Amino acid sequence: MGIFICRTNVVHIIIFLLSLLSSDIGSTRGVNATLGINYGQIGDNLPQPSQVLGLLSSLKITKVRIYDTNPQILTSFANTGIDLIVTIENEILHVLVDPQQALQWVTTHIKPYFPATRISGIAVGNEIFSMDDKTLISNVVPAMVSIHQALVQLGLDTYMHVSTANSAAVLSNSYPPSAGSFEDELSGVMKQLLQFLYTTRAPFWINAYPYFAYKDAPTKIPLDYVLFNPNPGMVDPYTKLHYDNMLYAQVDAVIFAIARMGFGGLEVKVSETGWPSKGDQNEVGATTENAQIYNRNLLRRQMANEGTPSRPSQKLDVYLFALFNEDMKPGPTSERNYGLYEPDGTMTYNVGITTLASTTTPTSTSTTPASSSSTSSPTATTSSPAITPATTSASISLTSSATHQASRKGYQSTGSWIFLLLIFQVLHRRLV
């Protein structure tokens, strides 16, 4: 039976393929990966920013994302070499649509601290496109434009980008990754966002949590697949790319969704990912063991400078969530238990950042955690916490598909171009 493809569909397919060709699939350019951490402050017992600096130093982390423009943090982080991404709160975006108000905001919240404090990015809101407030959604891109114009006016635009952090809920389809697409109702605003990011050369930020997918379907999703442990993985039936973990599959779904909109060259970065160490009775998989395994395996992948299967040579920037457990966060118990550390500076568990070359793999646990209270941790003392990651050994497998693909990147680059060009030629003949 012959396959009928109308001229309009062929044009759309050709445009999509060309956008993929312009992206980094099979690219050989190397970029050093970033390991950062999210520093939330929704707690009444958190240490002072000056104390946090000592903790970050012990973790050897120099990339931090915060959820506001706290003057105390901006001042404390001055002349430390820490690269900082700040956030404009959702509640004030409607004001910053006005260019004059945006200029005033940048003049007040950014300019006085830069360059002593290395502010490299401004996130305009957090996960707004997955909310129900249509007015707020419509304000995001105009506010981004106004903030960027203010940076240009003050001569700061070459030092920091403007973007927004997106929930994975902006995708209507994420499986298989090559079928990734945005929600239809977001197509208009997403086109505007991607055009802005493309024009200003800013990255697309995604908050990606394999934990949520596992929690919702623990009998269908293999735990080892979401924890980066050795597992058979899955093969995308269309691209034939192999995925041995869900995070990379989620990121590639975003990459393909962006390509479908005609912006295949945009860089995608993970603004949040993590795993809770404690949860309510119905929060399957929220255990200390699983949190330790997920974050440790993720950190090992980052140290190996891995990319995703569709972009094996473009190293993936990831910001871990989070630095501290935050006792005042609303919602289920898990929301207050994503931190690597308790507010008093003690480890929630050891991810072994300084001792990742080890020999034994920890065992994952899929049992449902017991119900737990959200009592506050002891109040931090005034002295800086003397935290040094323990030297407990743990083995992390490096047999990821991305690593294997990176070693074959020369062949894959050529193969990807030939494959897509052949498809292009076949489709083009149908138009003649």
User: Which of 91, 267, 272, 326 is an active site residue?
Assistant: 272
Pick from 299, 430, 312: which is nearest to 356 by CA? 299
Element (H, E) at 222: none
Collect all residues with Cβ–Cβ distance below 8 Å to 84 and sequence separation of at least 6.
64, 65, 66, 73, 74, 77, 117, 118, 119, 120
Torsion of CA 379, 382, 383, 389, to 10 degrees: 30
Rounded Cα–Cα distance for residues 284 and 277 (Å): 11
Active site residue 267: no
* Structure tokens that stand for 102 in this block: 């945006």
End-to-end Cα spacing for the chain:
21
Q: Which residues contact 406 (CB under 8 A, 6 or more apart)?
A: 306, 307, 312, 313
Phi, psi of 85 (to 5 degrees): -110, 125
C-alpha distances in Å from residue 45, one per residue of 41, 327, 366, 385: 9, 8, 31, 14
Collapsing DSSP to helix, strand or coil, 88 comes out as strand
Q: Is 342 an active-site residue?
A: no
d(CA 66, CA 240): 38
Question: What is the number of alpha carbons within 13 Å of residue 146 lying toward its C-beta?
Answer: 22
DSSP calls for 157-217: TTT-EEEEEEEGGGEEE-SSGGG-EE-GGGHHHHHHHHHHHHHHTPPEEEE--HHHHHHH-
Active-site pick, 127, 283, 326, 342: 127
Helices and strands per DSSP (H, E), number in the chain: 13, 12
Give the Cα separation of 221 and 215 in Å (integer): 9
Distance CA 208, CA 227 (A): 13
SS (H, E, C) 282-337: CCCCCCHHHHHHHHHHHHHHHHCCCCECCECCECCCEEECCCECCCCCCCCHHHHC
Which residues lie across from 248 on neighbouring strands?
A: none
Work out the number of other CB atoms within 10 angstroms of the CB of residue 411. 11
Enumerate the active-site residues.
Answer: 127, 272
